Chain A
Amino acid sequence: MFLQLKNITKRYPGVVALNNVSLDIHEGEVHALVGENGAGKSTLIKTCTGAIAPNEGTIVIKGQEFTSLTPKSSEQMGVGVIYQEFNLVDELTVAENIFLGRAIRKGFVIDQKAMEVEAAKIFKQFDIKINPRELVGNLTIGYQQLVEIAKAISQNAKLLIMDEPSAPLTQTEALALHAMVEKLKASGVTIVYISHRMDEIFKLCDRITVLRDGEKVSTINTSDTNLDDLVTLMVGRELTETYPDRKDCISDEILLEVNNLSGNGVNGINLKIRRGEVLGLAGLIGAGRTELAELLFGVKSKSGGSVTLHGNEIDPKLPKEAIGYGIALVPEDRKRLGALLDVTIRGNICISIIERISKFFTRDKKEEQRIAVHYKDAIRIKTPNLEQKIKNLSGGNQQKVIIAKWLATEPSLVIFDEPTRGIDVGAKSEIYALVNSLVEDGKAVLMISSEMEEVMGMSDRILVLREGRITGELDRNDFDQETIMGFASQN
């Protein structure tokens, strides 16, 4: 037994994040932690690393009992961790980040060279191409995640905790990560693995612990369960199919036409979306999908080509103008780009329309309230109170609030950029249902996703991007993972 949690309770003002949770982690196993958004997974592992102190309960590591751990002491006990939020310092080099807090030094003086050499060794071991002297801020998200992993490995951790390590990764990068996990396991490292991606849970993990609303539901052997049962344990009810059916609602009317669009890292893009259609955009990270969305939404300006909406050529210079044309963008980074965390749910839902519904600059609060209530009910945002700040909601509900904000603008084209990243299975299927109802309503949807299953499950048609260009187009009947990967990574 490597790690034992005994009766852990963690309370935040008004929330019991963990309620009397006990858990054993066996030496050498890969142990999955699953549950809905807000179930308490991250909180639980933070108590193991000393990032937060539980209100009650004890933690036993290798037989040694702790009531108050610190990040330092857990590290000394051989616990390494990759947190859900990035914990890198952009301003420091890769090597310095890997050795942050444990710099190789002589007296007060650090030894940069030695750290670079050590870092290079780790990268070599796992076949990663990163320059240890590069500043972390200059790396893409995928590479940053690899640095995080290298950082945890460099501690020679006996227990490695990974909180949604694959969330920011594309399929290929995720596969590399899986290989790494298996290598580590083979070398005797114990692993706790948190993920919302069910496929990797079943692929990698020996045992699974399910949390729901801060309580442990059960711990089971992977071999004793299947997807449906696990999902039922997680959400506490039976879930109908993941990708709900939708009526065939594609009309002949072309809503958006893009001709030879260039700029912001994309080149010569041609595409058409019809009313009632879900067009999927697949590709690896860095393929230029978000960049394309930014051009359409007026975040960045184009350098050439044209965009036609409803038959009129448009050239939005600001998101504000794009919204005016009836375009909406649900951005990929919810916390950084989507939510006004300190503002209420109502405020968030109404922020894009308050100007429109104001009279003589003065807000119409009744109307704001009506709209907020309407969308809360329509897409079932789980909150007793619209005056809650959005930061107090779970990830899935935050995402719904942001979608509600866009629905309130009554758009004709909705762009979803990684709409279900870090969102639990239950909330996922609700968001899919929402996408369906949008297209059934005669709107068009452009859906960017790095989850292969998701693009294939939801799209009527898929465009594949690579290095800023469209490299392939597939109709629903031709959808095939291999083909798409081929387009995305061909040379």
Chain B
Amino acid sequence: SGNKDNTDAGNDQIKIGMTVQDLSNPTWSGYCKAIQTKAEANGAKMSYVACESNVSKQIMQIENFVARGVDVIIVHPADPAGIENACKEAMSRGVKILAWDDDIENADVRWLIDNYDLGYQVGKEASNFINSKHGGTTEVAILNYPQLPVLLARGNGIRDSITKYAPNAKIIAETSAINPDEGITKMETIFQSNPDVKVVACIGGGGSIGANEAAKAAGKNAPDFGVFAVDATKPELDAIKNGEAVKMSMIVTGTDEDVATQVYGFVEKLATGVEVPARVYRNVIPVTAENVDKYYTANR
């Protein structure tokens, strides 16, 4: 694929383009960096861009990657349905597609995560905490982000699972928070209306860090207060390590290096024509005080 009449030394060099929703999100900038490092270590070339969750922009990025002659495009879809056609066109030009998180039709490999299920797992962990520390009855707040479809699903998973596993807990608020500042602001407000809230479940690390700061500031940093979330960002891991309010955060696949190794493995196979399964499901690991040291070495 691409223009192989290149006279450069690395004319067999694998070229990778990656488009993600959001590079201001540390999870994604962390993954991208790790994959880039991995690719360069293997003599490949990788560049990454963010589409700010805007499908048209992502389509444009895919088209531009194709024009540049990359071998593999890793796409974290802003919207699965929206990019089908662009992926199809790319594949018809011999470019391989790795779809991240979404089961799209036009891809060679789909590396999947079920956001509803992920949220469900968070809810389960939170429920365990509710049941063991509070006898199943306490007030719970959910920091969600319905503005983004995947996070909406994640938030729904959290709610459903808490309702199922801790049926006597009372969900007193469901409000959106994507970054620490919003997390703090929202939690401060919730502490006002519901000072007895003991558990906060968040769709991401931004909200959980904000909730952690708010809990600290409100003097609620006790063993019976728990923040549960996804992402396992470094500040979250710090908080877990230091015994602060954050009690658990889900990590998907593992450290950034783990992710990079797996992804680059697929990419290399795709580029060299080796068979890969069409669908690969990723595992989800809760990080708690027990196993935090294992993941703390992560570079973010």
A and B in contact, CB less than 8 Å = no
B-side residues, CB < 8 A to A, are none
